[in-house]
């Protein structure tokens, strides 16, 4: 029997107009736990309040699934990325009361660590210090930047766990849709474990071959995940159609880019029986229903895409053993995230195998019970 999730309004929504300059966007705090909430900041030309609400709800679910005592939040800035310095200084001044009041905002699609540094400075915000908590013994950049691949690591663990559950333990053919930081990290993770990347998609289309060495792809990729076709080896196939990645025969599809990349209009072209969401909100509800009806298995973002959120949350909740040497501390975080993702992926697939329907509400209900 499945648990039905009741509709829930966010704790509060802040509409951003800009302090000392114009900025358009929102901060949505979906839930608060002991006065704390956290989530990334997304900046695109099309981000909407509805999207930010969905992302904030996803943060609540991610943090619930990994058992961290923090609520979910998210910020969105409507911008094409022009004049980044001004945008993020204005954003920092605008959200300063939230940051100092227990709402930690980090990075997401369209926002870099350098951008985060700008809005932290503009807000005079230092995550090392928080009321009713011991101080972190290091600055945020020293702690967090070595963990940049933690999200990709978690997505990779989810993919490996799901492949093993499906009986496909080695040499799977993998399509990676989106080649930003997460897509690259997942591709490396899977290649290192013997799986074969057969297609990668970016904003300009899809590149495919019998095998795509990840190092060659990374050498031609900029920081925003755009691949320079002129630097690729001859013989690799290049398609400019936006959804050409759907037409590549594969065992596993990693969705690591834009919202609703898999949707009601294109899901009928799906050729991979296993999908793992490496990005946030990368499939629509209707697409997930249709994929399940066709026999495909999907591991949702709130199960797989938790690494970055968990790494930040571990520090905010002061759970990390900060006294460990840097490399040992990094390994501790990666191991912690990997174990949470592995356990949640296994349980999700077991619930799904036992009865038809959406397994996520039952998994969330189980984790809420564990926390109570």
Which of 9, 121, 113 is closest to 56 using CA atoms? 9
In contact, 119 and 95? CB cutoff 8 Å = yes
C-alpha separations of 101 from 88, 239, 268 in Å: 19, 48, 46
Q: Cα(175)–Cα(255) distance, rounded to whole angstroms?
A: 9
Is residue 231 scored above 60 in pLDDT? Answer: yes
pLDDT tens string 287-302: 999 999 899 999 999 9
Higher pLDDT: 360 or 223? It is 360
Partners of 353 in beta bridges: none
Q: Report pLDDT for 7.
A: 60
Q: Which long-range contacts (CB under 8 A, 24 or more apart) does 5-13 make?
A: 5/361, 5/364, 8/57, 10/53, 10/56, 10/57, 11/37, 11/71, 13/49, 13/53
**How confident is the model over 262-273, as pLDDT tens digits?**
999 999 999 999
Average pLDDT over residues 174-185: 94
CA distances, 218 to each of 212, 222, 225, 229, 353 (Å): 11, 8, 9, 12, 37
- CA distances 188 to 148, 179, 210, 218, Å, are 14, 11, 16, 10
Please determine, for residue 224, whether its predicted confidence score (pLDDT) is greater than 90: no
* Pair of tokens at residue 18: 């800009």
**The predicted structure's pLDDT at residue 372:** 62
Is the pLDDT at 249 greater than 90, yes or no? yes
Enumerate domains of the chain plus CATH numbers: 12-58+72-125 (3.40.50.10860), 150-307+339-371 (3.40.50.720)
Distance CA 135, CA 128 (A): 5
Among 25-29, 221-225, 334-338, 340-344, which is the least confidently predicted range? 221-225
Helix, strand or coil, per DSSP, at residue 196: strand
Predicted pLDDT of residue 3: 37
Query: DSSP strand E in the chain: where?
Result: 12-16, 25-29, 37-44, 71-78, 103-107, 173-177, 196-202, 205-208, 237-239, 252-255, 274-277, 297-299
pLDDT confidence tier of residue 356, bands split at 50, 70 and 90:
confident
Of 46-55, 125-134, 149-158, the range with the lowest mean pLDDT is 125-134
pLDDT at 122 over 70: yes
What token pair was written down for 177?
Answer: 């849709």
Residue bearing the bigger pLDDT, 134 or 225:
134
The two structure tokens encoding residue 340:
């949470």
**Nearest CA among 82, 84, 106, 85 for reference residue 95:** 106
Please give the pLDDT value at position 263.
94
pLDDT classification of 2: cutoffs 50, 70, 90: very low
Whether 8 shows a pLDDT value over 90: the answer reads: no
- pLDDT averaged over every residue in the chain: 93
Predicted local distance difference test score (pLDDT) of residue 5: 46
Q: Is the pLDDT of residue 4 over 60?
A: no
Residues ≥6 apart with Cβ < 8 Å to 231 = 219, 220
Whole-number pLDDT of residue 168: 79
Count Cβ atoms below 10 Å from residue 221 Cβ, excluding itself: 20
| Residue 167: predicted pLDDT | 84
161 pLDDT higher than 80: yes
The Cα–Cα gap between 308 and 314 comes to 10
Please say if the pLDDT value at position 1 is more than 50.
no
Q: Residue 180: pLDDT above 70?
A: yes
pLDDT digits (tens, 9 = 90+) for 199-211: 999 999 999 999 9
């Amino acid at each position: 029997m499945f648990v039905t999730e009741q509709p829930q309004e966010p704790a509060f929504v802040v509409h951003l107009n800009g302090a000392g300059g114009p900025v358009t966007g929102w901060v949505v705090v979906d839930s608060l736990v002991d006065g704390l909430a956290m989530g990334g900041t997304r900046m695109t030309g099309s981000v909407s309040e509805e999207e930010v609400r969905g992302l904030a709800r996803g943060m609540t679910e991610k943090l619930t699934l990994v058992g961290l005592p923090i609520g979910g939040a998210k910020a969105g800035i409507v911008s094409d990325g022009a004049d980044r310095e001004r945008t993020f200084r204005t954003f920092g001044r605008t959200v300063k009361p939230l940051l100092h009041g227990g709402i930690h905002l980090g990075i997401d699609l369209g926002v870099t660590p350098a951008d985060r540094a700008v809005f932290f400075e503009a807000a005079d915000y230092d995550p090392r210090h928080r009321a009713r908590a011991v101080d972190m013994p290091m600055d945020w950049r020293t702690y967090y930047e070595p963990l940049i691949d933690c999200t990709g690591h978690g997505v990779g663990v989810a993919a490996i766990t799901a492949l093993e559950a499906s009986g496909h333990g080695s040499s799977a053919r993998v399509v990676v849709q989106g080649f930003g930081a997460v897509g690259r990290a997942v591709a490396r993770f899977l290649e290192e474990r013997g799986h074969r990347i057969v297609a990668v998609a970016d904003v300009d289309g899809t590149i495919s071959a019998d095998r795509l060495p990840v190092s060659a792809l990374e050498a031609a990729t900029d920081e925003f995940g755009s691949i320079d076709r002129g630097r690729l080896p001859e013989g690799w196939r290049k398609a400019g159609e936006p959804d050409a990645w759907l037409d590549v025969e594969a065992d596993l599809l990693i969705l690591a880019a834009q919202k609703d990349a898999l949707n009601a209009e294109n899901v009928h072209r799906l050729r991979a029986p296993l999908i793992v969401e490496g990005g946030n909100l990368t499939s629509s509800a209707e697409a997930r229903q249709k994929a399940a009806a066709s026999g495909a298995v999907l591991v949702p973002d709130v199960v797989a895409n938790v690494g970055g959120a968990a790494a930040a949350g571990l520090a905010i909740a002061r759970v990390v053993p900060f006294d460990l040497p840097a490399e040992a501390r990094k390994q501790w975080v990666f191991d912690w995230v990997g174990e949470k993702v592995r356990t949640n992926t296994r349980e999700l697939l077991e619930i799904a195998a036992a009865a038809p329907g959406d397994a996520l509400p039952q998994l969330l209900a189980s984790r809420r019970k564990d926390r109570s």
